[in-house]
Amino acid sequence: SSLVGSEMCIRDRCREANRVLWKSKKKRELMMKVYTQTWYRGNNYGSVLQAYALQHIITDMGYESSILNYKPTKADLWKLKFINHSLKETLQYKINEFLMKKNGASSKINNLTIFDEFREKNMQITPLCSTASEIAKVCGSDAVFVCGSDQIWNPYFYDPYYYLEFVKNRYRKIAYAPSFGVENVPRNNRKRIQKAISQFRYLSVREKRGAEIVYDLTGQHAEVTVDPTMLVTMEHWRALSISGEKEKKYLFCYFLSADPRYLKTAEEIATEKNLKILMLPMVAADFNRDGTIKKPVGPCEWLGLIENAEYVLTDSFHCTLFSIRYHKQFNVLQRFKDGDKRGQNSRIHSLLQAVEMSDRLIVPGKKANTDTISSSRFQISDNQMEKLAESSRQWFEQALHECEGAFNSNDR
């Protein structure tokens, strides 16, 4: 009888184990799938890292996540260039991409191949899709979509797919921290963008000025949320970064614009602080300068260059953000003139104001404030960023949770 009882006990345990496995399998099958629509294909350090961070955070919240591998058809691409009057910007991007490829250790290993390797290793990406029907085929009829972050809502690069216009159910789309980048929306795209934004139930933007634009266009209140890179812990970023230059103290220069006054400022700071200049060339004028980095630099190496720098000088939003998070002495150059209708100063101003470091901004040609940033000031910035990140995370979690509720109530 004890043997029979033992066999029954074993059978009960097996049945229970099978039930657990079945429930686990069903849970995986029913798990809400989240697709992010953002800039990630371009070989821009900030864009790739924010795309990575957004997917990482969604996965960390317990959802299955993939980046939507969206690429417009050739016909749509030319139509968008005509709408946006962006042929000049496209040409400049292609020139810089060519230079990045040229700036490599060999024909087989260069900046672009390292970007591709990073994406392949660290990101879940869907098959290529260019139309709404292709996206529906890849993602299914009950997926949730998140657009953001970066300047995907810049009106001079308008593309309806980055406003999730292909998603008709407003409970299935979330705007997480997209940026307009500019102060105002031009007249030619105003109605398009107004209509697109009005379709969102869960709506946030990255800058305060962006929230003002949303309200001006639609009367809706948008939450102001932080760039997704701020939601990822510094322990995670440090584990991801790859250190290169360590022996000599250096001033790391990362410029997105060609301005001879940038180099003058860099030389002044390097002389004052007794540092050598390490410049990551991004524009043609920088490729033959002293201190130009010749070896390939991918996203992980870029993080390492910031982490190990003694001082950082940049005009980039994401380089500024990581400099603050790594507690680096830094200055940020104002890239656009005040009043420039395509100027993208608001994102830099918004970030510096949020962390109480507006004095680190330099108008090119003016004297830089190079006073040492104290540990206590960095502690204040850490506290400010932690509060903003926590508030943003809560808003995002709530939006995803409500989408999940709608997801589970549909045909389940």
The upper half-sphere exposure of residue 372, i.e. CA atoms within 13 Å in the direction of its Cβ, equals: 5
- Name, in order, each residue with C-beta under 8 angstroms of 282's C-beta and a sequence gap of 6 or more: 96, 99, 100, 254, 255, 256
Residue 263 in tokens: 């180099």
**Cα 328 from Cα 312, distance rounded (Å):** 7
- pLDDT tens string, the chain, 412 residues long: the values are 444 444 545 555 555 544 444 344 334 445 789 999 999 988 889 999 999 999 999 999 999 999 999 998 877 776 676 566 555 555 665 666 666 555 554 444 466 788 999 999 999 999 999 999 999 999 987 899 999 888 999 998 899 999 999 998 988 999 999 999 888 998 988 999 999 999 999 999 999 999 999 999 999 999 999 999 999 999 999 999 998 766 689 999 999 887 888 899 999 999 999 999 999 987 766 777 778 888 889 999 999 999 999 999 999 999 999 999 999 999 999 876 655 555 456 788 889 999 999 999 998 888 889 999 999 999 999 999 999 999 999 999 999 999 987 766 654 4
Q: Are 44 and 318 in contact (CB under 8 A)?
A: no
Indicate the DSSP class of residue 165.
T
**Cα 162 from Cα 180, distance rounded (Å):** 12
- Asked if omega into 350 is within 30° of 0 (cis), the reply is no
Q: Are 53 and 65 in contact (CB under 8 A)?
A: no
Q: Are 123 and 67 in contact (CB under 8 A)?
A: yes
Q: How many other CB atoms are found less than 10 A from the CB of residue 314?
A: 24
Q: What is the pLDDT of residue 290?
A: 78
Q: Provide the pairing of β-strand 33-37 with 64-67.
A: parallel
- Please report where in the chains the tokens 């529906």 appear, as a residue: 136
User: Which has the closest alpha carbon to 352: 376, 326, 332, 373?
Assistant: 332
**Cα 352 from Cα 372, distance rounded (Å):** 16
Q: How many other CB atoms are found less than 10 A from the CB of residue 326?
A: 19
Phi, psi dihedral angles at 262 (to 5 degrees) = -60, -50
First to last CA, the chain: 45
DSSP letter string, 309-336:
-SEEEES-HHHHHHHHHTT-EEEEE--S
Q: What is the pLDDT of residue 93?
A: 56
Phi, psi dihedral angles at 312 (to 5 degrees) = -125, 135
**Cα 198 from Cα 115, distance rounded (Å):** 35
Q: What is the pLDDT of residue 274?
A: 96
Q: Are 374 and 276 in contact (CB under 8 A)?
A: no
Q: pLDDT tens digits for 70-95? A: 998 877 776 676 566 555 555 665 66
Q: What is the pLDDT of residue 301?
A: 95
- Please report where in the chains the tokens 């990255």 appear, as a residue: 206
Q: What is the pLDDT of residue 292?
A: 87
- Please report where in the chains the tokens 């507690």 appear, as a residue: 327
**Cα 207 from Cα 179, distance rounded (Å):** 7
Phi, psi dihedral angles at 33 (to 5 degrees) = -95, 130
Q: What is the pLDDT of residue 83?
A: 61
- Please report where in the chains the tokens 């069903």 appear, as a residue: 26
User: Which has the closest alpha carbon to 356: 327, 332, 334, 385?
Assistant: 385
- Please report where in the chains the tokens 């266009």 appear, as a residue: 217
Residue 247 in tokens: 């022996």
What's the count of helices (H) and strands (E) in the chain, helices before strands? 14, 11
**Cα 295 from Cα 290, distance rounded (Å):** 14
